[in-house]
Amino acid sequence: MSAARVTTLTYYPVKGLTGVSVERADVLATGLRHDRSFMLVNPGDGTFLSQRTTPAMAALRVEVLADGDSLRLTADGADDLEVPVAYDGKRRDVSLFGKWFGAGVVQAAAAEEWFSERLGQPVALVRVTPEHERPGWGVHKGLTGFGDAHALLITSLSSLDGLNGRIVEAGGEPIPMNRFRANIVVSGWPDAHTEDRVLRASAGALSFGYAARAIRCAVPTVDQATGEKRGPEPTRTLAKYRREPGYGGGVSFGMKAAVLTPGAVAVGDEILVHDWLPDGADPAPATR
């Protein structure tokens, strides 16, 4: 059997926008460097914007420039914009899912105008504060930035192959992995959803621990290239075999993980599993 390896590494500078795939990444306690360090929010009440309600976000691209002190914003049909990053300064109250309430550092007005024009509604851009410390939940809790609740989202090619086989068998079109917005994609596991059973593992200098299964919302139905909703898949097919009673009946694909030991990881690094969860076991729901 071939070794399991990291086949894709992706970070998402602004929550809900296009990801940036890299060959190597430094992983901090909160996830890949720059991952979900920024967030678009409603300027009135500070609630976060999501592809769940604003799918056009998927087609907006943000690049963190090499020095980390500026962002380049790009979108089809729009002029590029480069803006400085404010690591501290004016704050704005922000919230996620009505469960986490904190503060974000307000970013350049030019960026807010650019995003507002692209999305057709007023938005504000914020960055995590220097003192940001937000715990996750699950078997291993860890820390996260502006992610939904965890530092890492891990999926596997075997899981996607299994899902697409079912979709095609039902007469549908296969979907790409980017619909699931993973940070780490693993190749080499022969069985679909092997990631569900990984309790502790490492790759490169990084070690991570299982937090919970990744319960999927409507985002995987959004075409990540165009920012348009594409219909019921993959949710329709996942609902046939990936219902999770312990998570309120949601459907899952991939696993959420906490960073146990920060460190560098690269595409091609072997995934070494040190401890497995027993088949069918998932203690995560009891930790919520």
pLDDT tens digits, residue range 164-199? 999 999 999 999 999 999 999 999 999 999 999 999
β-sheet bridge partners, residue 187: 5
Average pLDDT, whole number, for the chain? 97
Q: How far apart are CA 54 and CA 227, in angstroms?
A: 9
Position 1 confidence tier, pLDDT thresholds 50, 70, 90: low
pLDDT of amino acid 225: 94
Question: Cα angle at 216 between 96 and 30, to 5 degrees?
Answer: 50
Q: Per-residue confidence at 280, pLDDT binned at 50, 70, 90?
A: confident
Evaluate if residue 249 carries a pLDDT over 90.
Answer: yes
CATH class of 5-31+136-287: mainly beta
Residue 167: count other Cβ atoms within 10 Å of its Cβ: 18
Q: Using the predicted structure, report yes or no on whether residue 278 has a pLDDT greater than 80.
A: yes
pLDDT band for 2, please (50, 70, 90 cuts). Answer: confident
Cα–Cα distance between 254 and 11 in angstroms, integer?
16
- The pLDDT tens digits for 124-143 are 999 999 999 999 999 999 99
Confidence of residue 66 (pLDDT cuts 50, 70, 90): confident
Domain locations along the chain: 5-31+136-287, 37-132
Of 161, 180, 202, 157, nearest in space to 19 by CA: 180
Please tell me whether the overall predicted TM-score, pTM, comes out greater than 0.85 for this model: yes
Q: Is the predicted pLDDT of residue 57 greater than 60, yes or no?
A: yes
> What is the pLDDT confidence band of residue 26, given thresholds at 50, 70 and 90?
very high
